[in-house]
Structure 1
C-alpha cells in the first residue's frame, strides 16, 4: 500500500512540466549508439538490429536478447526473465527470426553488425532479470560479430536498474527509481565500450553540467495513436555540440522509470549527461507511457508486441518514432 501511494504521488507531481519544451533541431552528428535498462535494454537491442545501417552499437542493462518474447507476454514474463526457465529461451528461434526479418527488409542487413560493438550487463543482486537471461545476448550477437566486440559485466552486486557512481539507493537493494549507486560509472563504461577508438574521458562523480537539459516535443513524431509513447521526451546538449561535430546516444528507460511515473529522475541522474558533457555527446531520452488500457500499465517499451506484431522491426511503431527522432537530429530531415 505504501509503494502504491508513493507511485500515485509521483504520478501527480509529474503531471506538471518543470522544463521548457523544445522542438528538436538538427546537429552535426558523426555516430549514433543506443542503450537501455530492462525493457529499455530490449528496446535498445531491437533498435540496433533493426537500424544497424544507422546505429553502430547497443548497450543492454539487465534486458533480454533480441525477439526473446516471440511476441508473447507470457514468454516475456517467464522464460525471458527467470533463471529457472532459461532453457525455454530458444536462441535458434531468435536468430532465425532476425534472419527472416532481414530477408523481408524489415531489419537492416545483419552484416552491418560485424564491425559494431555491444555492451551487456547483469547485476548479481538482480532478482527481476537473471544473469543467465542477460547472457543470452552474447549468444545472439556472437552469430553476427566477434566475441571481442561484446563487452560484458556480470560481477557487480547491483539490483535491477541503472548503475551510477553518484546517485541512487544502495547498490544491491532495489528501489522505486531503479537507480543504484555502486561506485561504478556505467554510462561511461557503455559509451566507451561502444566507441572504443575515441579514448573517452571519465567525469568526476556527479560533475556539474554546462549544457542544456530540456524536454522536447515527442508527439510530433507520432503517426499512430497506439504508439504508447509520452508526448514529451528529454534531451541533453553540451555547449560544444551547438557548433561542433558530436556523437548521438539514445538512452531508453526501463519499466516504471519513464516520465509518466518518475519524471526526469532517470534522464537527469543516469550519468550519461556528465559523460556527454566531457566527451561531446548529445543524449536523447525517449519516453514510453504508462497506460492501464493499452496493455502497458508499467510504461515498458514494447518488446512483446503490445503495439503490433512488427514491434522488433523497422516497421515497429515505437522504432519508427525513434528513427524519425534520429532523422531530425542527425540528418536534418
Structure 2
C-alpha cells in the first residue's frame, strides 16, 4: 500500500511533552480498548470503518449500547445483558449511515474483530460482551471474529508478565493472567506476528506528546481530554521502516492522571510493536466534574 505520513514525535523518552513529528506508515490502522476504552474502540471502528481494518475489544459491549443515557450505561451496558436489544442498536446504526454521520457498515464485512471477556469479570459481565459479538455478527464475516471467553480473569487488561492476580480486581485494572492479550489481539487482526517473550526488553521510546494542539475551540479538559498522551515508537520505525499504527484506548481510572505511564508501559503492546514494526498510540482522557473517573464518552 502507499505509505503516508503520520505526525509523531521525534525525540526522547518521557521527560516533557513534545509536538508530533512524522513517520512512514502503512495505512492499515487498527484499534483496541478495555472497558470504556473497549466501547470507544468499537465506536471508533464503526464510525470510521473506511480507515480501520480491525478492532480488539476487551470487556466492552456493543455500539450505541448506552443510547445517550448514563443510567443505561452503568446498568444494562455493564450488568444486565438481557436489557440490551441488539436489533434496535443495528437500526440506530443504519440511521446514522443513512444520515452520513458514520461510514457505511459494508466496510466492516472483511474486518478482523477480537473480543475478550474474563470468566470472572464482575464489572462488565460476560453476557454484555457477548452482545458485542452478536452486534458484529450483523456486519462482519463470522470467520473474521475471534472470541475468548475462557480465561479466568477479573475486569482488566490480561498480560503474561505484569499486573495483579488474574482472578481478582486491582486498582490498575491490569491482570497477570499468563495470557498475552495484546499479542493475541494484534495477531488475529494482522496475522503472522512474532510473539514476544514475557516482559521482553524494549528497543524503542515511549514518548509523551502534546494532545492540546488538536483542540482548537477550547482547552482539552473541556472535552474530557488530557493535554498529553503517550506514543511508543520502536527503533525500526525511528529508522525509517514502514510501520503500522495501532490505537489503544485505556479504561476508566487508567489515564495518565491516575496511573502515569503504567498502562502504556505494562500492557504488552510495546513488546509486540518492537518485533513487528508497529507504532502504538495511547490517547489520554482526563476526569472532570461530569466524568470523575476519566472514562471515554461512548
TM-score by length of 2: 0.92
Aligned to 1:10: none
1:120 counterpart = 2:115? yes
Which residue of 38, 47, 55 corresponds with 2:52?
55
Shift of 1:169: 0.6
Cα deviation for residue 145 of structure 1 reads 1.1
Q: 1:224 offset after TM fit, Å?
A: 4.4
Q: Counterpart of 1:152?
A: 147
Is the strand fraction higher in 1 or 2?
2
What is the aligned partner in structure 2 of residue 38 from structure 1? Answer: 35
What do the CA deviations read for 1:220-250 (whole angstroms, capped 9, x no partner)? 1113433110000000001111201111000
Q: What secondary structure does 1:248 align onto? A: strand
| Structure 1 alignment gaps of length 5 or more | 1-16, 304-333
SS state at 1:21 partner: coil
Report the secondary structure of 1:26's partner residue: strand
- Structure 2 counterparts to residues 1-333 of structure 1, below 5 A: 19-30=15-26, 31-82=28-79, 85-196=80-191, 199-225=192-218, 226-242=222-238, 243-291=240-288, 293=289, 295-303=290-298
Q: Over residues 273-296 of structure 1, what are the superposed CA-to-partner deviations in whole Å (9 max), with x where a residue is unaligned?
A: 0000000000000000011x2x10
TM-score, structure 1 length as denominator?
A: 0.83
CA distance in 2, matches of 1:111, 1:245: 28
**What SS does the corresponding residue of 1:76 show, helix, strand or coil?**
helix
Relative to structure 1, the CA distance from residue 107 to residue 123 in structure 2 (aligned partners, 3 Å threshold; closer, same or farther) is: same
Distance 1:111 1:62 in 2: 25
Residues 87-118 of structure 1: CA deviation (Å, up to 9, x unaligned): 21011121111111111111111111011111
Equivalent position SS for 1:52 = coil
**Is the contact between residue 158 and residue 182 of structure 1 (CA under 8 Å) also seen in structure 2?**
yes
Instruction: Determine the C-alpha separation between the residues in 2 that align with 1:260 and 1:105.
Output: 36
SS at match of 2:128: helix
Q: Give, in whole Å, the separation in 1 of the partners of 2:112 and 2:21.
A: 28
The Cα of 1:26 is off from its aligned counterpart by: 2.3
> Aligned equivalents of 2:212 and 2:271: distance in 1?
27
Q: Is the 8 A contact 2:36 2:295 kept in 1?
A: yes
Contact 1:261 1:290 in 2 (8 A): no
Q: Distance in 2 between matches of 1:137 and 1:29?
A: 30
Residue 268 of structure 1: SS of its match in structure 2?
A: helix
Hey, what's the Cα distance between the residues in 2 that align with 1:145 and 1:153? 17
Q: CA RMSD in A?
A: 1.2
Q: CA deviation at 1:20?
A: 3.1
Unaligned stretches of 5+ in structure 2? 1-12
2:8 counterpart residue number = none
Whole-angstrom CA distance in 1 between matches of 2:14 and 2:233:
18
Q: Is the 8 A contact 2:14 2:206 kept in 1?
A: no
1:18 offset after TM fit, Å? 5.6
* Count of matched residue positions in the alignment of Structure 1 and Structure 2: 281
Find the aligned partners of 1:100 and 1:62 in 2 and give their Cα distance: 26
